[in-house]
Structures are given as C-alpha cells and as structure tokens.
Amino acid sequence: MADMINTAIAFTFSNFTLAFFVIGLIFSAIAMVGSTPITAAVVVEKLLAWYVFFTVGVSYLYNFIGHVFFGRETQHSLAGPTARSSSRSARQVWASRLWASLLLGEASIFVLPR
C-alpha cells in the first residue's frame, strides 16, 4: 500500500499539470470548509474558481517560465537532447504559444478566487 502511495505521489509531481490540478482540489476543499452553508452553487463556484486559477493560470505561467528561462532543460526533458527545430515558421509558432501561455496565465491569476 505504501509503495502504491509513493508511486502516485511521484507520478503527480512528475506531471506538473496534474500536480496543479490536485493542488486546486485541495484549495477548493479548504475554501468550502470556510463557507457556510455549503450548497451546490458554492461547491461548483469553489471548484471552478480554483481549477481555473491553478490548472489554467499557474500551469500556463509555469509553462511560460520553463520555456523562456529554462529552454534548454525543457527541450531535453520534452524531446531529448537531439531534437531541434530550425525552421522559422516552427519558431514563430513556438513564440506565439509562449505569449499565449503568458497571457492566459496572467488573465487567470487576475481573477484570483475570493
């Protein structure tokens, strides 16, 4: 049983989107404990708000920071040391996705759940 728990924890933290999803669920549960009464609307509101904040906002910012400031390490972890895109159009698509990650991350964090 302990081995299965250790494997689940290791998998969760090796996959950052899953880790942020789990953190969002934990924060949702904490936010629901503080609100009274707990209705279906409160549950949906808290789950959606913290899901958007962590799984979309923080995850996209993590993606942006990883690709911009730690590009070589991110490239090695995603595609291996020999992967290289030399075409201009591929670099332009990559850059536009990074900007999208930054903007979506910021937008999600600006609507921080209350």
Mean of per-residue pLDDT scores for the chain: 79
Q: Which residue stretches of 1-114 are H helix?
A: 2-14, 16-34, 40-51, 59-69, 71-79, 88-110
Residues 6+ apart with CB under 8 A from 101: 60, 61, 63, 64, 67
Other Cβ atoms within 10 Å of 75 Cβ, number = 16
pLDDT (0 to 100) of residue 93 = 67
Mean pLDDT for back-to-back runs of 10 residues, the chain (114 residues): 82 79 90 85 89 86 80 68 60 73 79 70
Task: Note the pLDDT tens digit of each residue in 50-78.
Answer: 888 888 888 888 888 877 777 777 766 66
Residues with Cβ within 8 Å of 7's Cβ and at least 6 positions away in sequence, in order, are none
